[in-house]
């Protein structure tokens, strides 16, 4: 996967790796740290149509349950099945093996750069 400095981010602590009209979506190391040890993920199904701003899944940890709020309209093209089987990958490799879903989209909203996201979580 890519280095965190090359990704785009949301204020909801998600990262996107954009390649053409496809984006890989995951949660940031900051979000994974805030959640604690992840024990379960509930992801949408491949082929699901999703709407930006909607909750499409949950990430459950030993401390809490976080919602996966999708930042873009599109279609889920793939889910990370390895993550369903081993949710702790979110904690051990949030920017790599811990990715959540892949989405095809027509238009990408304005997202945060690495520097903008870093400033957001520094407060």
Whether the pLDDT of residue 85 is over 70: the answer is yes
Q: Does a structural domain hold residue 118?
A: no
The answer as to whether 54 is a domain residue is yes
In a domain, 123, yes or no: no
DSSP three-state, residue 34:
helix
Q: pLDDT digits over 98-123, tens only? A: 999 999 999 999 999 999 999 999 97
In the chain, how many domains are there?
1
In 3D, which of 10, 15, 9, 22 has the Cα closest to residue 96? Answer: 15
Query: Is position 69 within any domain?
Result: yes
Distances (CA, A) of 9 to 74, 84, 108, 119: 17, 23, 12, 12
pLDDT over 70 at 2, yes or no? no
In a domain, 113, yes or no: no
Domain coverage including residue 43:
7-106
CATH of the domain at 82: 2.40.50.100
**Ramachandran region, residue 13 (left: φ > 0; alpha: ψ -120 to 50; beta: rest):** left
| pLDDT tens figures, 37-77 | 999 999 999 999 999 999 999 999 998 999 999 999 999 99
Residue 1: its pLDDT value, please? 59
Mean pLDDT of 4-32: 94
């Amino acid at each position: 996967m890519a280095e965190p400095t090359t990704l785009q981010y949301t204020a909801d602590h998600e990262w996107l790796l954009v390649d053409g009209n496809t984006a890989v979506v995951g949660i940031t190391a900051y979000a994974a740290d805030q959640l604690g040890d992840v024990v379960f993920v509930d992801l949408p199904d491949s082929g699901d149509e999703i709407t930006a701003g909607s909750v499409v899944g949950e990430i459950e940890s030993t401390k809490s349950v976080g919602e996966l709020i999708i930042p873009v309209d599109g279609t889920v093209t793939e889910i990370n099945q390895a993550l369903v089987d081993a949710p702790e990958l979110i904690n051990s490799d949030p920017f790599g093996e811990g990715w959540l879903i892949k989405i095809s989209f027509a238009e990408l909203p304005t997202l945060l750069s690495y520097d903008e996201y870093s400033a957001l979580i520094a407060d």
